[in-house]
Amino acid sequence: MAAPPLPPSGATASRRVLVIGAGPGGLASAMLLRAAGAEVTLLEKEDQPGGRTGAIRRDGFTFDIGPTFFLYPEILREIFSACGRDFDAEVEMTRLDPMYRLQFDDGRAIEATDDVERLTAQVAKIDARDAKNVAAYLEENRAKFEAFRPILQRPFAGLGDLMRGDMMKALPKMRPWSTVDRDLNRWFRNPDVRVAFSFQSKYLGMSPFKCPSLFTIIAHVEYGFGVFHPKGGCNAITAAMARIAREMGVDVRLSEPVEKLKIEGRRATGAVTAKGDYDADAVVMNADFAHAMTTLVPDTARKRWTDARIASKSYSCSTFMLYLGIEGSLPEMRHHTIAFSSDYAKNVAEIDAGRAPENPTIYIQNASVTDPTLAPEGHSALYVLVPVGNLTGGADWSALAPAYREKVLDRVSKLAGRDIRAAIRTELMFTPDDWQSKLSVYEGATFNLAHNLGQMLHYRPRNRFEDIDGVYLTGGGTHPGSGLPTIFESARIAARLCGEDLSLPGAAGLSTTLPPMEAAE
């Protein structure tokens, strides 16, 4: 599909947008704003696009840095279409079935599938009575998702947005007084079955015992729309977006970190890097919100989101990571495996307390069983993620990491059916310290601000940033929140607000699903 025609350069010369950060939100914003008629420059501190959705390439192996599950491709289809492209023609996707294996410590397992009849049979192996409620539970969450989808697709600028008709209609389904686990208790009495349908709260870096019940819809996104693997990994999506952005005329500049935002009065006018000054009519911030604000913007320039306020907020968990290039295949392991702790409640409590769990839950991606491009022939690329406390807990990872690596390798080896240590041909370890020091993630909180009720909707930093005029936010630190689908939605919201404020000629085409928004809200 050909890209839509852009206005003549003279018509857009005075409408310059600077995007800071080439993560998924920044790339989507850059594409949409360019399609709407802006001149767009994208500044990225790393030597590749993608941010936490970039790639690690070592010794012939390819690993995703962060996200490995790809959910809800519908939103990217809409974004690509708004830019005159066909997402499915640009990125090769495989729908996984089973989506993943849920492995309990005692050997029981659920092969999670979006085939409801087969899923019911899998749950029956854990609890036959609970299995009878699977279909009804999924249907309730389908209805909840449909009710909340328009709410997650629009900005929240204040209390007034809570009173709109769509919010009033959806609120009874939200059950704001409840948590994910408590809501599941209405359907499933067995704690292991509840864990199987609630571990997805970890996609937000939160405990199912604290995460608002709204987020049971994440399970519906998986079961209703499928879990996908992009060929080459999720990093292939951001690589395709960067390529398309360049083809559209976005000036993508890698290895150029922003040193500070340029501010006149309370308006952002551009940014400064070591290579020069960039003037702009608007700035889209895709960098980690808390890190960017506390390092690129003076504290005195922020009335609401001061350094003290940012420090006082609750943040998600962090992750301990092993990226392992293995000689040989691992036929006993699925593409995705979530191996639960023997005491899941204790595991989650330790994470909430900022510690490294004694008996951790681990996630393993063995994507080479599906995608041979990720490793040399006869080898496997293994990605291991362990949710742990963020740096506010005070753990000394320089001392803790070596022993923790051994603990995690013991768990992986048990799942693989053999000790994998002798087969490791390349390895990279990431701790919460590394998330902060290498990828500029505030307090190593991999999933950004926590998603409690006091940090959602208008309580989250707003897509049209309330402290500095001309700044628009996208990414996990703003509305609607963390996770690739919601980050892409934040990009669409931010781009549309920016486009309307700048009176871009193509602003009305930035969303295929939303009615016009008031630019001054």
In angstroms, rounded to a whole number, what is the distance separating the alpha carbons of residues 130 and 471?
49
Band (pLDDT 50/70/90 cuts) for residue 330 is very high
Q: Would you tell me the crossing angle of helices 134-152 and 116-124 to the nearest 10 degrees?
A: 120
Rounded mean pLDDT, 132-140: 94
CA-based radius of gyration for the chain: 22
Query: Are 259 and 150 a contacting pair, CB within 8 Å?
Result: no
Q: What are phi and psi of 459, to 5 degrees?
A: -80, -15
Q: Which of 233, 232, 230 is nearest to 373 (CA)?
A: 232
Query: Are 20 and 258 a contacting pair, CB within 8 Å?
Result: yes
Out of 157-166, 198-207, 404-413, pick the least confident. 157-166
Out of 98-112, 247-261, 449-463, pick the least confident. 449-463
Burial class (CB in 10 A: 0-12, 13-18, 19+), 295: middle
Band (pLDDT 50/70/90 cuts) for residue 159 is low
Buried b (16+ CB within 10 A) or exposed e, 191-228: bbbbbbbbbbbbbbbbbbbbbbbbbbbbbbbbbbbbbb
Looking at the chain, the number of H-run helices and the number of E-run strands are 18, 20
pLDDT tens sequence across 373-384: 999 999 999 999
Q: Give the list of residues 6+ apart from residue 233 with CB closer than 8 angstroms, or none.
A: 55, 62, 63, 64, 68, 367, 371, 374
Rounded mean pLDDT, 462-475: 96
pLDDT, the chain, mean: 90
Query: Are 193 and 123 a contacting pair, CB within 8 Å?
Result: yes
Q: Which of 58, 63, 86, 194 is nearest to 137 (CA)?
A: 194
Band (pLDDT 50/70/90 cuts) for residue 15 is very high
Cα 122 from chain centre: 28
pLDDT above 60 for 116 = yes
Rounded mean pLDDT, 252-271: 97
Q: Which of 235, 271, 286, 243 is nearest to 31 (CA)?
A: 243
pLDDT tens sequence across 501-518: 999 998 877 754 443 333
Q: Which of 265, 205, 308 is nearest to 468 (CA)?
A: 265
pLDDT above 80 for 338 = yes
Any alpha helices (H) in 98-206, and if so which ranges?
116-124, 128-131, 134-152, 165-174, 180-184, 191-198
pLDDT tens sequence across 411-429: 999 999 999 999 999 999 9
Above pLDDT 90, what percent of the chain?
Answer: 78
Rounded mean pLDDT, 65-89: 95
Band (pLDDT 50/70/90 cuts) for residue 170 is low
Q: Give the list of residues 6+ apart from residue 337 with CB closer than 8 angstroms, or none.
A: 100, 101, 103, 363, 364, 365, 366, 415
464: which strand partners?
472
252: which strand partners?
42
pLDDT top residue among 203 and 444: 444
pLDDT for the residue 172? 65
pLDDT for the residue 513? 45
Out of 57-66, 156-165, 503-512, pick the least confident. 156-165
Q: What are phi and psi of 472, to 5 degrees?
A: -125, 140
Q: Give the list of residues 6+ apart from residue 164 with CB closer than 8 angstroms, or none.
A: none
pLDDT for the residue 14? 65
Rounded mean pLDDT, 126-150: 90
Rounded mean pLDDT, 305-312: 97
